[in-house]
Amino acid sequence: MLVTFKTNAYSDITLFGEPAVSLLKMMGQSGNVPGAVMAEDVPAALASLRTGLAASAAAEGQGNQDSPEPSVVEEDEADANPPVALHKRAGPLIELLEAAVAASDNVLWNEY
């Protein structure tokens, strides 16, 4: 599943389903797709998302993800791509929410 976030104030953002639902829940939403946040509720959703991401990063010890300690990697895992951290996936969504706040616009999301 792919989830696309839309607002008139910013380009559409598409995220994979599981990270999108996690971010929606951090925003204080139910995680249901489709859904919407009305313009007057977007600032609170953005603040909740930032708080949730900070708590998630602290809980997972991602504060210093850019310089991980070296580890022994099996040959099969050597070619695997490391997973993208949720706080990095959230960057474009945060920008979309900031633009929606600035323009006093609604934010919608739907499955595509």
- For the stretch 31-71, pLDDT in tens is 999 999 999 999 999 999 999 999 988 887 754 444 445 45
Nearest CA to 42 out of 109, 99, 110, 111 is that of 99
- The answer to whether 98 touches 46, Cβ cutoff 8 Å, is yes
pTM to 2 decimals?
A: 0.80
Percent above pLDDT 90 for the chain = 70
